[in-house]
Amino acid sequence: MNSQALITEQAVYNATLIHRTDVTPELSVVRFRPDSGLIPEFLPGQFIKLGLPREEGVEPVQAGPGRPRSGPRLIRRAYSIASSPRQRDCVEIFVVRVEGGKLTPKLWVLDLGGRAWMDDKISGRFTLDPVPPHKDVVMVATGTGIAPFVSMLRTYHDQPRWRRAVLINGVRYAPDLGYREELEALARANPRVRYIPIVSRDPGDGAWTGLRGRVQVVLDPAVYESQVGAALDPDDCHVMLCGNPEMIDSVQAMLAQRGFRPHSSDQPGNIHFERYW
């Protein structure tokens, strides 16, 4: 490698893959450590952008007018941070491998110690800021959309940040339930935390004995009340939706009929959402 390429690589790659746990062959929990040793301060629920080179090797390009920085062209994608802001030496994310996707198949072949680009800022408004601490927080996730809620629960499970936290995670198959053991343990230890997994494509082999269907099943008033021991009432609850955009649209429409309203900066409401695509 010539010295120009070396400078380029140092300028662009600023993080290292330090951990990978494969939940299934298609779902992984990974951690990246920034070269600086410290990620920026953030709030649970926010996301960071990560990047990998578009092509193999280092391809020098012009980054923009007046910024004669060069480096490989990157594919950048946003990822909700699953780790708690109490831990600043790395970011943990929960990723699904999207067949035919541009970035995730490259992440799947990145070895431990592999280099990546990590944004030096963390963004996003999908936080608990608009949720008063005397309300129930109803967290609804499909697939990897559970990540921001894991960060919230890791951060606030032992604090009076909510009256009750109810986490509903809908996945295709039971093994897709990322963080299941951690969340079950957290809910066992804390009566103000409920964890309700639901599986939509259970093969019916008897291994899964929990709820079946999509997350909407749990949001049915009678099912919710039997699972949680309280009503899903717009006066008492804020609902946070994360993951599949069709789920978000569908649940939002369902809750609107029951008196919930989407939150925006000019119109406070009790539905908050983060679309992954």
Ligand X SMILES: NC(=O)c1ccc[n+]([C@@H]2O[C@H](COP(=O)([O-])OP(=O)(O)OC[C@H]3O[C@@H](n4cnc5c(N)ncnc54)[C@H](OP(=O)(O)O)[C@@H]3O)[C@@H](O)[C@H]2O)c1
Alpha-carbon torsion 114, 120, 126, 128, what sign?
Answer: positive
* Smallest distance, ligand X to C-beta of residue 95, A: 10
Alpha-carbon torsion 249, 123, 114, 51, what sign?
Answer: positive
- Sequence-distant (≥ 6) Cβ neighbours of residue 116 within 8 angstroms: 13, 15, 16, 17, 32, 50, 51, 52, 110
Q: CB under 5 to 8 A by kind: which of ligand X, ligand FAD, none does 147 bind? A: ligand FAD
Q: CB under 5 to 8 A by kind: which of ligand FAD, ligand X, none does 252 bind? A: none
- Sequence-distant (≥ 6) Cβ neighbours of residue 22 within 8 angstroms: 28
Structure tokens at 119: 């944004």
* Smallest distance, ligand X to C-beta of residue 241, A: 10
Counting contacts by CB under 6 A, is residue 169 touching ligand FAD?
A: no
Measured CA distances, 121 to 15, 65, 230, 265 (Å): 13, 22, 39, 22
State which residue, 96 or 139, has the beta carbon closest to ligand FAD.
96
Counting contacts by CB under 6 A, is residue 274 touching ligand FAD?
A: yes
Residues in binding contact with ligand FAD, number by CB under 6 A: 20
Give residues in contact with ligand FAD (CB under 6 A): 47, 77-80, 93-96, 98, 101-104, 143-144, 147, 274, 276-277
Interface residue list for ligand X (CB under 6 A) = 24, 26, 96, 98-99, 142-144, 170-173, 176, 200-201, 214-216, 243-244, 246-247, 250
